[in-house]
Chains A and B, each alone.
Chain A
Amino acid sequence: EAGVAQSPRYKIIEKRQSVAFWCNPISGHATLYWYQQILGQGPKLLIQFQNNGVVDDSQLPKDRFSAERLKGVDSTLKIQPAKLEDSAVYLCASSLELGLAASTDTQYFGPGTRLTVL
């Protein structure tokens, strides 16, 4: 079974530029998550999709971050404009179940995209 795919793996940009990350979840997985992991900290949930609907985006800085999951499969996360504090690893994860069943389901993480903002 193929895992969660993410691209690019690394990205370096200057502040105020824009950047986009792509995630392809495990086939058939209904729930998709984007996490931000700053160096030395645990991952922080940015947004959760179930199929193509947003379940939780309470920690997404909506003035600069946006995300979509078209057709309930692939997802993109965009930052525009980037700030220095956005330097982090952006992790995509997916799980099979929907709704409350997702709370006991295993989340599988992709390799992440390491973003450096100069």
Chain B
Amino acid sequence: QKEVEQNSGPLSVPEGAIASLNCTYSDRGSQSFFWYRQYSGKSPELIMSIYSNGDKEDGRFTAQLNKASQYVSLLIRDSQPSDSATYLCAVIGGGADGLTFGKGTHLIIQP
């Protein structure tokens, strides 16, 4: 059974600070890693994907992957109130699987 673990929060961060979200996964054969943002009552939307060890930056977002530690993280720089949402970590195994999601971390950016 593949598992993806996230701290459910809430994680409260002051506006303008860096928000750090973490995720661990159980399937060592996992190949693809995603961060989705989900606003209350809305569907998930993809904000970052990462496939190899290291960092990947896109604007204010940086995804970090460490396959040896089975750990994925998302950093949000210069946090804005509009970043307040639930962030879902999702993983795909070695085959053509669907996404396995964590429960999500509820992020609150305090103005």
Contacts and interface: CB of A to CB of B under 8 A. Distances in A.
Interface stretch (B60-68, B77-85, B96-104): B96-104
B17 to A, nearest CB: 25
Identify whether the interface residues of A are mostly helix, strand, loop, or mixed. Answer: mixed
A45 B46 CA distance: 16
Interface string A81-118: 00000000001000000111011101111111000000
Contacts of B51: 104
A42 B95 contact: no
Interface in A41-73: 41-45, 48, 50, 55-56
B61 to A, nearest CB: 15
Given A42-B4, A42-B88, A42-B104, A107 B99 contact: yes
Contacts of B90: 42
B98 A106 contact: no
Q: Which 5 A-B pairs have the closest CB atoms?
A: A42-B101, A45-B98, A109-B43, A103-B92, A48-B98
Interface of B: 4, 8, 31-32, 42-46, 49, 51, 88, 90, 92-104
Given A103-B92, A104-B92, 4 more contacts: A41-B103, A45-B98, A103-B95, A104-B31
